[in-house]
Amino acid sequence: MSARTARLLLVLAAFLAGLASVFLIIVIVTGRNPVPVASASAVGGPFRLTDHNGRTVTDQDLRGHPFLVFFGFTHCPDVCPTTLFEVSEVLGKLGADAARASALFITVDPERDTPEQMKDYLSSFDPRLVGLTGDPAAVAAVAKAYRVYVKKVPLDGGDYTMDHTALVYLMDKDGRFVAPFNLKRQPEDAAADLRRYL
Ligand SMILES: [Cu+2]
Span from the CA of 140 to the centroid of ligand 1 (angstroms): 16
Give the three-class secondary structure for 106: strand
Span from the CA of 73 to the centroid of ligand 1 (angstroms): 6
CA angle 82, 83, 84 (to 5 degrees): 95
Span from the CA of 168 to the centroid of ligand 1 (angstroms): 12
Q: Which of 98, 94, 97, 118 is nearest to 106 (CA)?
A: 118
Q: How far is CA 140 from the centre of its chain?
A: 15
Amino acid 54: pLDDT: 98
Across 25-48, b (16+ Cβ under 10 Å) vs e yields eeeeeeeeeeeeeeeeeebbeebe
Span from the CA of 33 to the centroid of ligand 1 (angstroms): 9
| One pLDDT digit (tens) per residue for the chain, 198 residues | 555 555 445 444 544 444 444 444 444 344 444 444 456 668 999 999 999 999 999 999 999 999 999 999 999 999 999 999 999 999 999 999 999 999 999 999 999 999 999 999 999 999 999 999 999 999 999 999 999 999 999 999 999 999 999 999 999 999 999 999 999 999 999 999 999 999
Amino acid 42: pLDDT: 85
Span from the CA of 148 to the centroid of ligand 1 (angstroms): 12
Amino acid 127: pLDDT: 96
Span from the CA of 112 to the centroid of ligand 1 (angstroms): 14
Give the three-class secondary structure for 174: coil
Span from the CA of 6 to the centroid of ligand 1 (angstroms): 49
Span from the CA of 46 to the centroid of ligand 1 (angstroms): 23
pLDDT tens-digit series, residues 117-144 = 999 999 999 999 999 999 999 999 999 9
Which residues line ion ligand 1, judged by CB < 5 Å? 72, 76, 79-80
Span from the CA of 17 to the centroid of ligand 1 (angstroms): 32
CA distance 178 to 168: 11
